[in-house]
Structure 1
């Protein structure tokens, strides 16, 4: 991942966000507030202000929150004396240590002032500060090093995809290489499926062995006829039955063009966590939830993208304009928003949204708490200086399943995905979340989520008799 350089036009907005975060005036008594939340809000504000793409945003968020979790585990499982202040300081140091690797341009102007303000508020002794700094920075750097090479060879992947598309005469149902001026170019995310996951096994192997039933319909087929007819009207820009709410849903989940749309799908779940977690939630619970959430989203993106470039299924505008053996071409069919950056199946938005919903639901189930109705506002989700009303306005949800349904419909109303893509995408996202949760504390994996074994309690026990098993385990 490349470091992002601040654009001069965004400098004032970002500094304004920083000032409000440091001041604390945007925090109410009913809002959860700790160092992990503060770093999340800062990073989310940077992501939104800069327009950082969702794949890079997911990488920054997952690494930062995993480093926070590693710092707490390291303090817990070593002989270092610590208290609440030391834990918060270690989380702060770990956050800063990750972000300077990707946002180095902001070290002196944004990240260091933010860190120093937090440290001053904690009133640490010299020894506490030293312990927090040593632990936080060491675990963060080890984590970043484990992720090096996560997207090596993306230029070669792009070349191979380009050659394949240029040389082929696509059959009906196959993705076509085309771009509209001003729209995102074809092949934009062809390398995402090659990115290193945290917990999931190789995405190709996982699809072939565990997700065999998930695939787009054959063209032509009765299943394809159903998909064709379900989207033909509701995804079309000039359909007389379109409503303002359909346009709002489409814009919100796509990230534009209306004001108040999401910056990234990660940003939705960061806002949802702030809205849902009780103000008294512990630092550890906050950090672990953030870590599981963003690791699940990251791995869901990789798997979903890998499947898109495995099936190469055509996008709706191509399908309707080109036609197929069972349907005449509709040359005037245009999606509400033009988009052809990658193949269609499955919907990454549905995959990501369902993965996030599953993580949050599991957290509340384990705490024996109910998910209350909540509200999310698009745009920059940290405190912002521009208080004018967004074009879309707040989105209200009674449940996490309602969020998934909203995202599914939004992607169809945009004219970007068929029903099978958003339906299967939601199931795939939930499967990813379940897999990550089941294997959360297991060692190994492509890079894993556990810190160095020196910061864990490792248990080994000889089986009671031959034929029995007794795994080496790690206590977090």
Structure 2
């Protein structure tokens, strides 16, 4: 009897061990790692062209919205952009996010497929194999496919058709160094003015008001300011002001959406679903702000400071030798794109996390390794506006109007898109 009893205990132990090996999904630990990892992959794939941030804003929105929709097709915590995909309740939302992001990035960057496939395999290998993982992959690919088809005709691939206006005072014309290369706003993908927006009803409905008259007190004041502060040889610009101009020059709205969104998600300890939603909303705000900015620029064709200062303007004498601290971009001035787009991103996060000053300053790093510390979201917006003035690229009012437009975009995005469900 004693031998039989021992054999019985041994058999029970073997069966228990086998059960553990057959059900690894019972020990599955879920984190937001997959969303952050593929958000960073999306961050890296910036097209190496002038104005590369324009298509990058679309790619970043596609990637993050796809991850959000894949996760919420399983969890149903927030409304999806497209219809939710039918999914098993025990499907892995992490596998779904990985599969959705990979699908979308391969669609948008087929030239990088081998690299993306390798990252995909490595990312999936961190998740236990089994039915949950398999179903999550299916859901992620289905959600990404649906999103891709939903926005298949967004006009991003239309041919640019911009025709430069007749040169006169107040009207944009190409500036150095681009004027020597024959480049026009088509370089900045001028067709983007007609691209379908992600959240707001249309770019036309969010078009900025007209720029100030050349004889107005606002314009004369702003022209004098940028002439002093934004000159390459300025004697009145402080070192911190110069640093603001240099810091913001290489940062773009989609990069800011990822950096600040990830930092806030980490600070608040957000889980998978909430991290995906935060980054999706920030990315949508950035993408819409890019579209609206290009639409407004083409509506007004306002001249850049370098042109106004060198040629002279009512009330301000010409200075033919004036040059900006930072080379002026090859498109129209009004409204200022960086303040408009960055404000849309930053105010989206202010809506989600609150606009109070930070307990611990937020440190942002630009692609060149420069860092700048901010005590609040509003300080970040104000710094962008300042940076474009001291860089010599924009008039202050253009930045202020752009920032206000960005705030309006953020308000719309956060009150109309990816809202919490009643579940």
TM class by shorter chain equals 0.7 to 0.9
* Correspondence for 1:408: 385
Q: Alpha-carbon deviations, 1:349-396, whole Å to 9, x = none?
A: 001111111111122139x9966312122227xxxxxxxxx4xx3211
With over 3 angstroms needed to count, the CA separation of the structure-2 counterparts of 1:195 and 1:411, relative to structure 1, is same
Candidates 235, 238, 242, aligned match of 1:240: 235
- What is the CA distance between 1:251 and its match in structure 2? 1.9
CA contact 1:71–1:90 (8 Å) conserved in 2: yes
Q: Alpha-carbon deviations, 1:111-138, whole Å to 9, x = none?
A: 122222222211131x223211211111
With over 3 angstroms needed to count, the CA separation of the structure-2 counterparts of 1:107 and 1:79, relative to structure 1, is closer
1:274 aligns with 2:274: no
Instruction: Measure the CA separation in 1 of the matches of 2:377 and 2:365.
Output: 16
* Correspondence for 2:97: 91
Instruction: Measure the CA separation in 2 of the matches of 1:369 and 1:224.
Output: 32
* Correspondence for 1:13: none
Instruction: Measure the CA separation in 1 of the matches of 2:117 and 2:98.
Output: 10
* Correspondence for 2:246: 251
Instruction: Measure the CA separation in 1 of the matches of 2:236 and 2:335.
Output: 26
* Correspondence for 1:47: 46
For the residue of structure 2 that corresponds to 1:335, the secondary structure is coil
* Correspondence for 2:353: 364
Candidates 394, 403, 410, aligned match of 1:433: 410
With over 3 angstroms needed to count, the CA separation of the structure-2 counterparts of 1:274 and 1:439, relative to structure 1, is closer
Q: Alpha-carbon deviations, 1:140-160, whole Å to 9, x = none?
A: 0111122223235743523xx
Larger radius of gyration: 2
Candidates 103, 111, 123, aligned match of 2:128: 123
- What is the CA distance between 1:475 and its match in structure 2? 6.0
For the residue of structure 1 that corresponds to 2:214, the secondary structure is coil
Unmatched runs of 5 consecutive residues or more in structure 1: 1-31, 256-261, 381-389, 443-455, 457-473
With over 3 angstroms needed to count, the CA separation of the structure-2 counterparts of 1:365 and 1:50, relative to structure 1, is same
Q: Alpha-carbon deviations, 1:180-211, whole Å to 9, x = none?
A: 2577933132222111111112212333xxx5
Candidates 153, 158, 161, aligned match of 1:149: 153
Instruction: Measure the CA separation in 1 of the matches of 2:132 and 2:357.
Output: 35
* Correspondence for 1:192: 192
Instruction: Measure the CA separation in 2 of the matches of 1:417 and 1:265.
Output: 17
Instruction: Measure the CA separation in 2 of the matches of 1:191 and 1:61.
Output: 19
1:376 aligns with 2:364: yes
1:279-298 matched pairs, under 5 angstroms: 280-298=269-287
Count matched residues.
380
Task: Report the TM-score when normalising by structure 1.
Answer: 0.74
Task: Report the TM-score when normalising by structure 2.
Answer: 0.82
1:101 aligns with 2:110: no
- What is the CA distance between 1:337 and its match in structure 2? 1.9
Unmatched runs of 5 consecutive residues or more in structure 2: 1-30, 77-85
Instruction: Measure the CA separation in 1 of the matches of 2:285 and 2:311.
Output: 37
For the residue of structure 2 that corresponds to 1:314, the secondary structure is coil
Candidates 205, 220, 224, aligned match of 2:219: 224
Instruction: Measure the CA separation in 1 of the matches of 2:379 and 2:357.
Output: 18
1:330-409 matched pairs, under 5 angstroms: 330-365=319-354, 372-379=360-367, 390=369, 393-409=370-386
With over 3 angstroms needed to count, the CA separation of the structure-2 counterparts of 1:43 and 1:202, relative to structure 1, is closer
With over 3 angstroms needed to count, the CA separation of the structure-2 counterparts of 1:68 and 1:429, relative to structure 1, is same
1:56 aligns with 2:61: no
- What is the CA distance between 1:46 and its match in structure 2? 3.2
Instruction: Measure the CA separation in 1 of the matches of 2:126 and 2:366.
Output: 30
With over 3 angstroms needed to count, the CA separation of the structure-2 counterparts of 1:440 and 1:339, relative to structure 1, is same
Instruction: Measure the CA separation in 2 of the matches of 1:55 and 1:439.
Output: 23
* Correspondence for 1:114: 119
* Correspondence for 2:15: none
* Correspondence for 2:69: 70
CA contact 2:87–2:135 (8 Å) conserved in 1: no
Q: Alpha-carbon deviations, 1:266-318, whole Å to 9, x = none?
A: 22332223333336311000000000000011101111111111111110000
